Structure 1
Amino acid sequence: MQSQLTFVPDYSEVLKQRMQALGIVSFRQLSHHSGVSERQLKHLRQGKIAQMRVEALFKLSDSLKMPVEALLQQFSPLGQEQAAPIPPEETLRQEYQRLEQKLEQQRKVLLEEFQRSSLQVLESWLQQWSAVVAAAQKNPQLPALPLLPLMKPLDLLLQEWQVDAIASVGEELAYDPQWHQLMEGTARSGDKVRVRYAGYCHRGKMLFRARVSPV
């Protein structure tokens, strides 16, 4: 029995003509210029535009200087049974925006997790350094004083990461077990305590409590 040949449309020449009009000399150059993989370009050349990623369509639309709707019409098979309906441009644009928002949310979550895990590693150093800074500011004769300007980049980084001290070292305030950790003795909520080591918040969330002693 004679096997049936599967017809695969070829839009390579159509794509080349559009590329030549824009001064793009090869598919590889188009891939590099648009940020779309050569595999996705192969889908376009074979009329498999319905299988392409939404992001790739918008990138090619920009690189080829043609609306997405025109791209869909020009590189879609005609006169064949439609295997998969191609969504209109507005639907594709909405889906692209949804994916962009999702990626941005994921990026923010990963960045915050990275910052928080890094700060947890530095917890002991941050608390000790806060006490060193307070002591150096009170006593200019301490050897640590010349080191303070060298730590300015770290201060800027903590500001950029939205890391805020709960209280200053040496400050006297009302004890709150939610924000303060007793180093010695006992205290009830509202009792006066003195901050020995600063605690920190990261983006408004508790990172670690300030360490305090009863006055």
Structure 2
Amino acid sequence: MVNEPDSVQQFARQLQQLMQLAGISSYKALSRQAGVSERQVKRLRLGQVSQMRVETLIKLSQALKVSVSELLTTFGDRKPPALGEQINREHELASLQQEYQRLRSLLEQQRETLMQEFQMSSLQVLESFLLYWPTAAAAAQVNPDEKAVKNLLLLVRPVQQLLSQWGVEAIASVGAELPYDPQFHQLIKGTAQPGEIVKVSNLGYRQGEKLLHRVKVSAISKA
């Protein structure tokens, strides 16, 4: 049996240290946890990161709880190469790092898109609550049973906090009187011209610059 070079033994020791810190008991367990083949784990153990795909390095870095940059630095080939080989390897490592940054940015964009889609689907489910709960709450406050009203309001506080975390803001307040603006107001009773005073029946909502629901308003009798 041929003894492994010192550099390879060093790679193996460092990988074992990372595995120990991550609570991984064997190379096979690392392979399973990272979702890569045992051959790829062996390449890492031999310091052959330049021959590995970026996706594989990302999976291994996540399993070992270290950055891809750290893997590239720790398990890069340490043998003193010829000048031409050194330039090629440096170029390969630079390309791997660029690809890693590109994929990381893509993942961040996908995560943001998925979060926005989740929020929008959730807000659609909550549409009836958003539109009619504030009106019901305002009416409930005139109920002589103040304790019941307070308990009722406490029940929906977590939902209100969640909406606040998502950047969802209420437009106007129930019963408020304000100038009619067709862009933000939906007239549900009577007639009114832009600028005429109307009364808020149900709140509207926006998320940042996006209008989610227009404020439902009623015309005020001119009599």
What TM-score does the superposition give when structure 1 sets the normalisation length? 0.73
Distance 1:15 1:151, change over 3 A: farther
Question: Within 5 A, what are the aligned runs for 1:89-168?
Answer: 89-141=93-145, 144-168=149-173
> Separation in 2 of the partners of 1:126 and 1:184?
20
Contact 1:69 1:88 in 2 (8 A): no
Q: CA deviation at 1:188?
A: 1.1
1:56 is matched with which residue?
57
Task: Confirm or deny: 8 A CA contact 1:134 1:169 kept in the other structure.
Answer: yes
1:106 is paired with a residue whose SS is helix
How far the C-alpha of 1:99 sits from its partner, in A, is 1.5
Secondary structure of 1:73's counterpart equals coil
- For 1:203, the aligned partner's letter is G
Residues 109/67 of structure 1: CA separation in 2 closer, same or farther (3 Å cut):
closer
Q: Name which of structure 1's ranges 201-210 and 173-182 shifts more when overlaid on structure 2.
A: 201-210
After superposition, the Cα gap between the structure-2 partners of 1:61 and 1:188, relative to the gap in structure 1 and judged at 3 Å, is closer
Superposed displacement of residue 108, structure 1 = 0.9
Match of 1:38 in 2: 37
Mapped contact 1:174–1:192 kept (Cα < 8 A)? yes
Task: Kindly tell me the number of residue pairs found equivalent between the two proteins.
Answer: 198
Structure 1 residues 96 and 106, CA gap change in structure 2 (3 angstroms): same
Q: 1:18 to 1:32 in 2, by over 3 A?
A: farther
Aligned with residue 194 of structure 1, among 199, 202, 210: 199
The structural deviation recorded for 1:17 is 5.7
CA contact (8 A) 2:190 2:219 kept: yes
Would you say the 8 A contact 1:164–1:200 is kept in 2?
Answer: yes
Relative distance call for 1:135 and 1:31 in structure 2 (3 A) is same
Matched, 1:183 2:183: no
Residue in 1 aligned with 2:26?
26
Letter in 2 for 1:205: K
Task: Summarize the Cα distance change of 1:49–1:42 in structure 2 as closer, same or farther, 3 Å threshold.
Answer: farther
Listed as ranges, the gaps of 5+ residues in structure 1 are 1-10
List runs of 5+ in structure 2 lacking aligned partners.
Answer: 20-24
SS of aligned partner of 1:206: strand
The SS at the match of 1:177 is coil
The alpha-carbon deviation at position 101 of structure 1 amounts to 1.6
Local SS of the residue matching 1:189: coil
User: For the residues of structure 2 that align with 1:162 and 1:112, how far apart are their CA atoms?
Assistant: 11
SS at match of 1:170: coil
Q: Deviations over 1:34-56 (max 9, x none)?
A: x4623532565796853422561
TM-score by length of 2: 0.70
